[in-house]
Amino acid sequence: MLRVLPATIVDLDALESLEMQVFDHDRFSRRQFRHLLTKAHGITLKAQKQNNIIGYMTLLTRTCNHTMKIHSLAVDKNSQKCGVGTLLLRQAEQVAADYERTSLKLEVSEDNPIACRLYLSHGYTLQGRRPHYYQNGSAALIMKKNLANLEHQP
Ligand SMILES: CC(C)(COP(=O)(O)OP(=O)(O)OC[C@H]1O[C@@H](n2cnc3c(N)ncnc32)[C@H](O)[C@@H]1OP(=O)(O)O)[C@@H](O)C(=O)NCCC(=O)NCCS
């Protein structure tokens, strides 16, 4: 059964190895994960199947009063295209609503068409572009979704 749960420090090893498997550059280090899981103003969600973490999303709350930032989203290569990314993205909206935020924002690499399509198909709109943002020199697209009409779900 697939479940989305808050990640904790006990998930550090699993998150680190997922990060290594999924990203070629701009990875979170172990130290960054430790900070995200223990000190950062935010929440890390894990998608867990049986006892395996097959995806995660980090959300930062300390942006401004109205917005929450999706800092990272990744799904294990063997579990992609099965709806896990979509599930995490939906859950992000619920977390934002719980924190009484009215929008979600994120940055995504211009050369990541799969992720760009995912966000656009979920109602995110292009707000801007940051050239040479990532370690491989690619630009970041800034996207935002307004959640004002999101009903609070039980
Ligand atoms: C982007 C990512 C999180 C999507 O996760 P996922 O679990 O595969 O997403 P889903 O299964 O919910 O699929 C979402 C859509 O993307 C499509 N998709 C996913 N992987 C795809 C692939 N390899 N090729 C083509 N389309 C793909 C799905 O078909 C689906 O489209 P649909 O809604 O029209 O059917 C995942 O590909 C990933 O971890 N990529 C590497 C890390 C990354 O790029 N993170 C985003 C950083 S901003």
Which among 104, 127, 107 has a CA at the least distance from the CA of 115?
A: 107
> What average pLDDT does range 30-36 have in this prediction?
96
The pTM of this model reads 0.94
* 111 lies in some domain: yes
146: CB partners within 8 A, 6+ apart: 102, 103
- Six-digit token pair at 89? 């993205």
How far does residue 73's CA lie from ligand 1's centre (Å)? 10
* 112 lies in some domain: yes
Query: Looking at ligand 1, which residue's alpha carbon is closest to its atom 42?
Result: 74
Domain count, the chain: 1
* 34 lies in some domain: yes
| pLDDT above 70: residue 21 | yes
Ligand 1 site, residue 86, Cβ cutoff 6 A: yes
* 154 lies in some domain: no
Separation CA 49–CA 39 (nearest Å): 26
How far does residue 111's CA lie from ligand 1's centre (Å)? 14
How far does residue 57's CA lie from ligand 1's centre (Å)? 13
What's residue 123's pLDDT?
97
Strand order in the sheet with 2-6: 2-6, 42-49, 52-60, 67-75, 103-109, 140-146, 125-130
Which amino acid is present at 129? R
- Six-digit token pair at 57? 């999303």
* 44 lies in some domain: yes
Query: Looking at ligand 1, which residue's alpha carbon is closest to its atom 10?
Result: 83
Q: Which domain holds residue 90?
A: 2-146
Per-residue pLDDT tens for 52-90? 999 999 999 876 779 999 999 999 999 999 999 999 999
Ligand 1 site, residue 37, Cβ cutoff 6 A: no
Output the domain CATH number for residue 94.
3.40.630.30
* 152 lies in some domain: no
